[in-house]
Chains A and B, each alone.
Chain A
């Protein structure tokens, strides 16, 4: 008997020995007393509790180990397993559409009919297509400053001082003193707190909108706004509500319904914007600014007014709609591309009540790749 039980005894003894060794090492570890106390207090002679704790512990470990870059769980359902050979066959079979269709006759004729000016553009340019002079009712040169000799001269001086390109984005040594001066001059001209230059008219509003409007924000917008505004809204992923073109009654109805929805939902206050154009690019209609401002203030919206076509063309001294209607905008923004009035520059002008402008500018700069260009806004005065 003794001989039979001895190997069993040895095993039991070894286990007991190693267990006590583990226990001793455990108590030697710093902080082990805390763990012990925790386990004891949670156990409280109830194995169910320990079991529950263990489940929670394993769940936590599992969550931590799970890959953060989860494979598309939606796709996983739809995923079809193929063998390598089948994939090769599918690849072989796949015929993509051509990258572009060649132009058909109508489109080609359309492209051929695009006027091309020989030499400088102006009110009476010569056309390459016909070789004859024409009266220009197509170009955007409202103030006729395009070929102003004085501006040319000043631009030349600037070129001889700064070169042509600024070779860097604003953040990284592309912020020239002329840019700063120009922004200051524009802000002063429009009587606003500050202004910021963008390199291209189209990109101005389409990068400004996503800089402020985020997912969950509400944009109420005219149905006939220009494409750059539409693109900006698309990128912003905000909730978009449309109102009838230039119809402020329709706008008010939309504003009321948004307000009603918000009350029903009892959600947190989100940013709300009205976006419209001063003079519409599509049909040249003009927004009734005083009424718009009244509505905006009543319903507490921020207004983004695209003055691409009204800046420099209406108002006693060309300051746009605000001058025409003699109103002062507070805490709204008016983007005005200058390129139609003056050379090669676009402007966003921030009408800010608060001192937030400084804080937001870098954010918007970061969306720009291209450098800004010099401009002599002094000529406007």
Chain B
């Protein structure tokens, strides 16, 4: 198999074992036999109508047939990814997407609404502990790695000085990286480099094309080959499946490229603003339900450049201990005092607030000027969700300002896809600042910050973003506008497109537009608030496709989350979060899990994360499900996990009696998804 090319000794052992079925069953041979059986079952199930869907549709579709039958250049379906499995579609069901980008799934049963039941308590984050031998072996593995690493450094510096030159002073220059600082990168991460920096090509949609690579010298260099492997992609942040090179959004982007070009030439305050920027900001504000919004061309920089404009010396930032590094970066450069509290622990937060307010600033005991609480809507490594109702209750009592980073939650949760406020049914204006990114759900890039108009205007002139960072590019803006509009649905209120003057000014735009567009919050957007040349195809404009995407995403998240739980794995996080972490603990299992998933008949690419992104012992796999996955895709991920979980001894969650078999999980998927949160 192409992916076994990793030249490490383990993979060659694998090959041998595959060719000698008579040898006693080992983990690897067992696994490969299972995955082959899995592929056989898939082929049998597909049966004869395999090639018919495209053919039978070619009569009903004319121009879009090209797109419909289109698969990647390599064409074949040996990996079972190019052509949908299961029931053949009937003639009413039209393919509007390419299956490899956005999977075809017409079964209306496979939908779920992501919503918090009103009044129900928010389930607390429970950390399941593995058996002690797992913890013990994890510590031992790290100990061995660290001891070996230091030993190699010690000997290497003495006997192979040439290859350690970059770590020792030479010619009067200090080494660029001290061996201590880079120890983790060199001695631990380098060993598992095959899991990172994988070169890819094409669209990072439901599937992704990997450029095969191998390393001749233990990951010192990676050589990229000409061959490609298509793999099921459960690792990209593509929650709503907008990573598409075809379809309504891509057409809109093409139109905007012709009209606006590809760059905006400069920063927002210094000649880089176009009417499209103003428009996009009002669309974003409308989407999140705030008065105004400001956008920035990079997600990381949204936090790191705007937080310093919100608070300064004499202010206090209270930050969740698991907040993203962009928030820490911003908080650190703001000059404000920073305190952290235990992840999602409302009691800890309250006692910290009481202490902070009563004690005042350190030493002087003067009262704080402002207290800004920064939390994330959904935490990227844990999949946990902030307990927003409790935070808002605290906010009323303690009068702090609330900043919610919705980088992962915007678009991904809530019945209307408007993020964590929508999920809990809370008025977004109770939150002071909502921040989010376009990378995750909208298939674009950049970030926004929204709040009341006075605040946003202040940020425009005070944030460094305005004067120093380049404005977001027009094609990206169009992708944002088109994808957001399709989720909101466009209300064509009889206006003549193009009749209204576009490109209102930042300071006047939001107010005038706000009067024009005065819909109840999670409602449609007026055609007049969009660029006049933007015409989305009907399924997108009517919001039907947007709704379908939201519900498919929610189904997939719940299904994968609960399926893994039922199979006996330890997972973290909220079931409606599209981020599903599966805990591995031992560092070596990360590479094995990654390799075994990639070497299957239907390759699956996953992300493994370890220290420093997580605590040392809780290394994990992070699945990112997407609306573009079909139920069969999630089935195959579950099957793969089930098989690999047995081999790698990962099932330490539910006790054996309570577990379901993989067949039962797949069969009772719909039932599983619809169990209410508190009963699961």
Contacts and interface: CB of A to CB of B under 8 A. Distances in A.
A binds B: yes
Interface of A: 74-75, 78-80, 82, 86-87, 90-91, 94-97, 99-103, 107-108, 110-112, 114-122, 128-129, 136, 138-141, 146-147, 151-152, 155-156, 159-168, 170-178, 180, 199-203, 206, 212, 214, 217, 226-228, 231, 234-235, 268-272, 300, 302, 331, 337, 339-340, 342-344, 354-356, 358-360, 362-363, 365, 367-371, 373
Interface of B: 101, 165-166, 169, 171-178, 181-182, 185-186, 189, 196-205, 208, 211, 220-221, 224, 233, 235-238, 242-246, 249-250, 253-254, 257-266, 268-275, 277-278, 297-301, 304-305, 310, 324-326, 329, 332-333, 353-354, 357-359, 362-363, 365, 367-372, 397-401, 407, 432-433, 437-440, 442-447, 451, 454-455, 457-461, 464-465, 468-470, 473-476, 479, 502-508, 605, 607
Contacts of B236: 167-168, 172-174
B200 A119 contact: no
Given A79-B359, A103-B461, A370-B300, A116 B469 contact: no
Contacts of A180: 199, 224
B301 A203 contact: yes
A206 B172 CA distance: 26
Contact of B362 (A78, A136, A146, A160): A78
B272 A121 contact: yes
A212 B242 CA distance: 36
Nearest to B189: A362
Given A200-B297, A200-B298, A107 B461 contact: yes
B253 A116 contact: no
B301 A116 contact: no
A363 B245 contact: no
B300 A94 contact: no
B458 A202 contact: no
Nearest to A271: B174
B191 to A, nearest CB: 13
A152 B439 contact: no
Most chain A CB atoms below 10 A, which of B205, B258, B272, B368 = B272
B272 A96 contact: no
A359 B470 contact: no
Given A269-B173, A362-B196, 7 more contacts: A99-B432, A100-B310, A103-B457, A114-B269, A202-B468, A302-B176, A362-B197
Contact of A140 (B266, B359, B365, B508): B266
Nearest to A355: B166
Contacts of A121: 260-261, 263-266, 271-272, 274
Nearest to A352: B176
Nearest to B402: A99
B464 A300 contact: no
B446 to A, nearest CB: 8
B310 A234 contact: no
Most chain B CB atoms below 10 A, which of A170, A235, A362, A369 = A369
Given A139-B272, A146-B265, A235-B332, A269 B174 contact: yes
A164 B301 contact: no
A116 B197 contact: no
Contacts of B271: 115, 117, 121, 136, 138-140
Given A176-B201, A235-B333, A370-B300, A140 B265 contact: yes
Q: Nearest 7 A-B pairs (CB), nearest first?
A: A138-B271, A369-B300, A343-B263, A139-B265, A300-B172, A139-B271, A200-B298
A228 B265 contact: no
A370 B197 CA distance: 15
A174 to B, nearest CB: 7
B452 to A, nearest CB: 8
B273 A115 contact: yes
Nearest to B399: A96
B235 A173 contact: yes
A217 B475 CA distance: 42
Given A87-B354, A152-B262, A359-B182, A172 B443 contact: no
Contacts of A337: 470
B310 A99 contact: yes
Contacts of B297: 199-200, 344
Contacts of B101: 163
A252 B264 CA distance: 40
A199 B469 CA distance: 11
B200 A82 contact: no
Contacts of B367: 94
A363 B184 CA distance: 10
Contacts of B310: 99-100
A117 B106 CA distance: 44
Contact of B262 (A90, A155, A162, A363): A155
* Interface residues of A, dominant DSSP: loop
Contacts of B468: 202, 226-228
A121 B353 CA distance: 49
A78 B176 contact: no
Nearest to B205: A163
A187 to B, nearest CB: 16
Given A90-B358, A175-B200, A300 B458 contact: no
Given A121-B272, A156-B257, A272-B174, A362 B185 contact: yes
Nearest to A339: B470
B274 A118 contact: yes
Contacts of A170: 197
A119 B260 contact: yes
A225 B446 CA distance: 26
Contacts of B176: 212, 271, 302, 354, 356, 360
A330 to B, nearest CB: 11
B250 A91 contact: no
Contacts of A146: 261-263, 265
A174 B263 contact: no
A75 B324 CA distance: 27
A258 to B, nearest CB: 13
Contact of A164 (B182, B371, B479): B479
Contacts of B253: 159, 164
Contacts of A356: 166, 176-177
Contacts of A99: 310, 370, 372, 401, 432-433, 451, 455
Nearest to B219: A358
25 contacts: A87-B357, A94-B357, A94-B367, A99-B370, A99-B432, A112-B505, A117-B275, A119-B275, A120-B259, A136-B271, A138-B266, A152-B261, A163-B243, A163-B443, A165-B242, A167-B236, A177-B200, A177-B201, A177-B211, A180-B224, A234-B333, A235-B333, A356-B166, A369-B325, A370-B446
B185 A128 contact: no
Contacts of B329: 235
B196 A302 contact: no
B660 to A, nearest CB: 30
Given A116-B275, A156-B254, A163-B245, A370 B445 contact: yes
Given A91-B397, A155-B257, A175-B198, A344 B233 contact: no
Contacts of A362: 185, 189, 196-197
Nearest to B220: A358
Contacts of B266: 121, 138-141, 340
A202 B201 CA distance: 27
A330 B343 CA distance: 46
Nearest to B260: A120
B358 A87 contact: yes
Contact of B235 (A122, A168, A228, A359): A168
B342 to A, nearest CB: 11
A167 B439 contact: yes
A345 to B, nearest CB: 10
Nearest to A342: B263
A332 to B, nearest CB: 11
A319 B523 CA distance: 51
A174 B438 CA distance: 15
Nearest to B470: A339
B492 to A, nearest CB: 24
A161 B202 contact: yes
A363 B208 contact: no
